[in-house]
Amino acid sequence: MDQIRITGGQKLNGTISISGAKNAALPLMIASLLTRETLTLANLPRLADVAMLKRILTNHGVDHSVDGKRIGQDVLTGETVHFTAREIVDNTAPYDLVARMRASFWVIGPLLARTGFAKVSLPGGCAIGTRPVDFFIDALRKLGAEIEIEAGYVIAKAPSGGLHGGRIRFPKVTVGATHVAMMAASLAHGETIIENAAREPEVEDLAACLNKMGAKITGAGTPTIIIEGVRELYGARHAVLPDRIESGTYAFAVAMTGGDVLLEGARENLIDKPIEILRKIGAEVTITNEGVRVSRNGHGLAPVHVVTEPFPGFPTDLQAQLMALVCRADGVSTIRETIFENRFMHVQELARLGADITLDGQVATVTGVPRLKGAPVMATDLRASVGLVIAALVAEGDTMVNRVYHLDRGFERLEEKLGRCGADIERIAA
C-alpha cells in the first residue's frame, strides 16, 4: 500500500485548482440509470470512488465513454464522461461492491423507478458509524414500493402500475436518502413532497441535472422539495460543481502552514461557514473572480468552538481538518460532532504527532500545543487521513501517512497540488 511522506515546516504559496465534487459526481452518475439516453457529465474528478462507481454502473448495463480534455500545460480539467444505460441488464448490486462504497446503495432508487425491481446489498457500517438505511426504506415505501430484507439484501418491488407520489418526512437530515427519494419520485405517478430534506449543494446539483433530463423538481436546497413525476427522463449535459470539502481542506492547510494560496474554482457560497470559522481562527480569506484566496502571514491561530451540522452548518466532512488546525491554536478549542457517532478516529493519530486532545462522548477538547513532531500515522477514513496530512505539514521532521488509499478516494492528486505550493511531500509507492 502506498504511503505519503511529509516533512513539515514549509509554507504554502501559489494556486490549487479545485476538482469537481466527489459527493456530487456520485449521485449524478447514478442518475444516468434513469434514462436510456446519454447523460454527459463534465468536470468529473479522477478519484478512486468515481472509478469504482463506473464499474458498478457497468454491471447494471451503463456504457461510458470519456473525452477528457487538457487546458494549458498541466492543468487537467475533470473528465467529461458520457453515461448511457440503454437498458438495465442486471438489477442486483452485489455485496462485494456495495460494501466498499456506501453511495453505491443509492442505485436502488433509479433501478426501482426505471424497472420496478431492485435487489441491493445492505451497505454495512464503516469506520465512522453503523450508517443504517432505514430512512431510504421508509421513503421508498411511501412511494408504493414493497420492501423486504433478505440475507443482507434489500429487495424492492414497485406496484404493477409503477411508483406513485407520496409525502416523505425525514426524521433526521440525510443526504443520501434525499438523493434517492428525489430520483425515484422523478419517475413516479403524481406529486411527491419531501420534508426535512437535506439542503447540501450536492442535492441542488442533482436536482438541477434531473430537471435538465426532464424532471420537474422545485425547492432543492430548501427543507421542502416537491417533485412532479414524469413518464420518462432524457439525456442531458451537466457539469459537476466544485468540491466544497476539497476547497475547505486546502483552506485549512494554508491556515495551518501560513502562506497565500488561491483556491481556483472554489465558490464562496459553498463554504460560507468554513470561511467564517477560518476568519475567527485568524486566516485572511478574500473572494476573487478566480476563486477563494486564503492567507495567513505571521500572527498565530485563535481557538474556536464548533459544532458539525447539516448544510449550511459546519460540515462533518471538514471536522478532522479543523481539529488538525486547532491543535496549534493559542488556547483551548472544542469540536462537537453531531452527524456520525464515531468520527474521532483521527484523534489518537493526531496525539501521536503530539496533539493534546481529550474526548468526552461527541465533544473533542483540543488544547493548542507549541509544536507537533513527525511520526508514522495511520489513515482510517477519507477525511481523517487528510486531517493527518494537515498536521504533518507543520510537524517537525518526517511524518509517514500509511493506508493512503483512503486519501485517493476523495482527493485528486493531493501530493501534486500541495507539492506545487511548496509542501515537502512525496508519495512512496509500496
Which residues are the active-site residues? 126
Give me the least distance between CB of 354 and ligand EPZ, in Å please.
26
Helix (H) or strand (E) holding 175: helix 175-186
* 383 binds ligand EPZ, rule: CB under 6 A: yes
State which of residues 5, 54, 82, 131 lies at the interface with ligand EPZ (CB under 6 A).
131
Give me the least distance between CB of 133 and ligand EPZ, in Å please.
5
Which of 366, 372, 396 lies closest to 302 in space, CA to CA?
A: 366
- Identify the burial level of 136 via C-beta atoms within 10 angstroms of its C-beta, where 0-12 means exposed, 13-18 middle and 19 or more buried: buried
Contact window for ligand EPZ (CB under 6 A) among 53-61, 124-132, 351-359, 420-428: 124-132
| Strand order from edge to edge, sheet including 216-218 | 167-169, 191-195, 224-228, 216-218
Q: Which three cell numbers stand for residue 240?
A: 459537476
- Residue closer to ligand EPZ by CB (options 79, 246) is 246
* 159 binds ligand EPZ, rule: CB under 6 A: no
Q: Which three cell numbers stand for residue 362?
A: 461527541
- Residue closer to ligand EPZ by CB (options 10, 319) is 319
Contact window for ligand EPZ (CB under 6 A) among 60-68, 169-177, 236-244, 385-393: 169-177
* 134 binds ligand EPZ, rule: CB under 6 A: yes
Per the DSSP assignment, residues forming a β-bridge with 63 are: 84
Contact window for ligand EPZ (CB under 6 A) among 11-19, 54-62, 126-134, 292-300: 126-134
State which of residues 10, 17, 19, 23 lies at the interface with ligand EPZ (CB under 6 A).
23
- Residue closer to ligand EPZ by CB (options 199, 296) is 199
Task: State how far the alpha carbon of 210 is from the alpha carbons of 53, 167, 230, in Å.
Answer: 19, 20, 11
Please say whether the beta carbons of 296 and 254 come within 8 A.
Answer: yes
Give me the least distance between CB of 125 and ligand EPZ, in Å please.
9
State which of residues 172, 237, 279, 371 lies at the interface with ligand EPZ (CB under 6 A).
172
Give me the least distance between CB of 124 and ligand EPZ, in Å please.
12
State which of residues 35, 174, 321, 385 lies at the interface with ligand EPZ (CB under 6 A).
174
- Residue closer to ligand EPZ by CB (options 83, 411) is 411
Please say whether the beta carbons of 263 and 294 come within 8 A.
Answer: yes
DSSP annotation of 32: G
Contacts of 91 (CB under 8 A, 6+ apart): 60, 111, 115, 117, 118, 119
**Which residue has its beta carbon closest to ligand EPZ?**
176
State which of residues 205, 317, 408, 415 lies at the interface with ligand EPZ (CB under 6 A).
317
State which of residues 18, 26, 158, 163 lies at the interface with ligand EPZ (CB under 6 A).
26
- Residue closer to ligand EPZ by CB (options 293, 383) is 383
* 51 binds ligand EPZ, rule: CB under 6 A: no
Largest CA distance in the chain: 67
State which of residues 6, 112, 156, 177 lies at the interface with ligand EPZ (CB under 6 A).
177
| 3-state secondary structure (DSSP) of residue 140 | helix
Which residue reads 465533544 in cell numbers? 363
Straight-line distance from the first to the last Cα atom of the chain, in angstroms, rounded to the nearest whole number = 5
Residues 52-111 close enough to bind ligand EPZ by CB under 6 A? 102-103
Contact window for ligand EPZ (CB under 6 A) among 12-20, 141-149, 171-179, 187-195: 171-179
| Strand order from edge to edge, sheet including 3-7 | 376-378, 398-402, 3-7, 424-428
Secondary structure tally for the chain: helices H, strands E:
14, 26
- Residue closer to ligand EPZ by CB (options 309, 398) is 309
- Residue closer to ligand EPZ by CB (options 301, 344) is 344
Contacts of 389 (CB under 8 A, 6+ apart): 4, 6, 253, 401, 407, 414, 418, 425
State which of residues 47, 91, 108, 135 lies at the interface with ligand EPZ (CB under 6 A).
135
Per the DSSP assignment, residues forming a β-bridge with 227 are: 192, 217
Residues in contact with ligand EPZ by the rule CB under 6 A: 22-23, 26, 102-103, 129, 131-136, 172, 174-177, 316-317, 339-340, 382-383, 410
